[in-house]
Structure 1
Amino acid sequence: MSIIQPSFDQPVVVRGSDAEVVGAPTARVQLLADSSATGGALSTVRVTLAKDADGARPHRHNASAEMFYVLDGAVQVLSGSDIVTAERGDLLVVPPRVAHAFAAARGKSAELLIVITPGVERFEYFRKLTRIAYGQEPPDTLRDVQELYDTYFLRSPEWEAARR
């Protein structure tokens, strides 16, 4: 068993009112704590999805697990080939190397706390996604940064069928 030893010695406090918010009108991301702030322990964001909104398309992380905690509403999450519907108070953790995606459940909105551990420096990734959503950068630029952000996109027939 290996244990990640984060390297930071002061508590991390992020005031919600001070946190940067990025994203598109239907999917907002509040940037809470990046890996550099937690000595590599974790990265965390709060995601708000409008009714029926997509969150992230299918992808995997090779080095990190991803935790989804539903603060409000309901969300569909792809985990491997399974589609799980999670509601307020539910928790789902996807292991490293497992395909996953998320979106608001049909007819619902959702608010999620997402934690990636060990942390990956990802705030610039979310800023990049925002620029892509507003047409300021082409979508294919994501291919160039997959390794940098440990986010590898893939196809999932199960997800495509569930989101039709």
Structure 2
Amino acid sequence: MNTIEQQLWEYIDGTLDETTKKTVEEKIMSDPEIKTQYEDLLKLNSVLGTLDLDEPSMSFTRNVMESVSTLPAPVAMKTQVDKKIIYCIGGFFVISLLALFGYVLYHSNISMPKFNVNLNYNLDQYITPTVLYSFLFFDLVIGLVFLDLFLRKRISKH
């Protein structure tokens, strides 16, 4: 549909604003071809207005609902993605990140500072009988707590 025909239809329907309405009226008055087109559209509009609309029968809705109810209900589509595909994609990204990390490490200049650590400790001054007995006591308490938890779980299962 060209623009003048669309404007004529909107003019006939009365949906144009005032400025556009005036320009369309001027075109109708000045151009005989547009005037004949306008008259043809007016005739067509009046013929369409006189047509009787067909109405569905009174039981139309009931018949449609009955036919719909006899059809099987659509099943929801359950799509499953294969886990192998997910693992492959994840593996690809992990390998890519590891390769990138390795590349960065290979091309970087990493040097560790030199520490002068004296490892000659006199352990006899740190490991005294009191420290040894307290360590063994602490281990015994922890062992008894875990034994208690283990026995409570076995009893609760039976």
TM-score range relative to shorter protein = under 0.3
Which structure exhibits the higher relative contact order, with contacts defined as CA atoms closer than 8 Å and separated by 6 or more residues? Answer: 1
Give the strand-richer structure, 1 or 2: 1
Give the helix-richer structure, 1 or 2: 2
